[in-house]
Structure 1
């Protein structure tokens, strides 16, 4: 069994929105947090977000993601391996905290709560955080409905399909978790012939085959609803705003949570 993050960087250039933020989304992060003169903490090493702020520290659990995706340290930007649930930084030490999909990269409501608490801890007073979320719809999609939508040309790219399947397969408890192996297994059951899928949709085989990074992985994701995420964030922040993150496939499920006024621990 493996942690697929250690292989994920090999597929990074094949990923597209909604799995990676667009230039429009990056501009919305910048606008919402006024990052021009900010010292920023980035959760993960998302290259599109790594250019923001006056200075940046990026923290990722996977050293291979850092070596494979991070552009390299310089005088104002550096990356380090670390645990988002126990951030190796001082209290009230950053003007802004940003992240892309990081609330889905943890596997439970409890872990999301700890992550919110850590974001609140490291923010300077009066400052804000913004996290792009992957939120499943209130009414779960039916897998056969997803299959029909793809065959009718209603799903724009393979990564939007991957997230639709993932969101449809989450547990019904408060964790809303899903084994990444189950995402792949469900995809293979719905679309057993990848060449037929590629021909029908125009998607590249290279893009479709990115799902194989999940093979043998013990990793779980979580896809809570937007209402759940706002409620969980509100335990740690006095102000929680939902901001649209742009126009791209599945963008309606991927808004920014803008977090302000951290509550005392």
Structure 2
């Protein structure tokens, strides 16, 4: 029970919501993103950038609402370098203090609103989760504006690597040396550009495979040496081979 939609206020961001069936861990693949999360059981959290798949465990009926910020945008919203949140799930209160308590009150009010009453900022009505996601997006957008927007270097680096450019070509295009790009990438994405490139290539390959392309063809199109290389990379990052991820059972 998962759904997502584009967050209209923040380019590249995604609103998502889910309700757990309690059928075991959910495999969340790394993507170079930071998420602002709300759980009906745990409250407000920040999900840092993962280097490998994170196994999320929830109780039956637990509701999740999240705002997934595109690679490079999270540090401007949360006010902390991405590498300090790497591979972690952190209570928002640890980062924002009293501001997190204020947001928690707003989320609680949105959650208590009867279905069909009121509208979120961008016109979504009905489910409480829609109102909650609207609150999360509004706060994130306000903080992003106060920070002067995302670092433009991060946006360019992520776009070039997502398109399959090499790290060397990306560094040259944004006008940074190899060491400077590595330092900037750790701050913006949580890890160096080579790790981000591997993660984005895996996601590109999985998108191709889900569109129906055979894995041997996917490997070539995504820039792997061969299908065996694709399988090794996916297994290292996701914890399971691509055939497992692509099966109807998913994780």
TM-score, scaled to structure 2: 0.26
**Per residue, is there more helix in 1 or in 2?**
2
TM-score, scaled to structure 1: 0.25
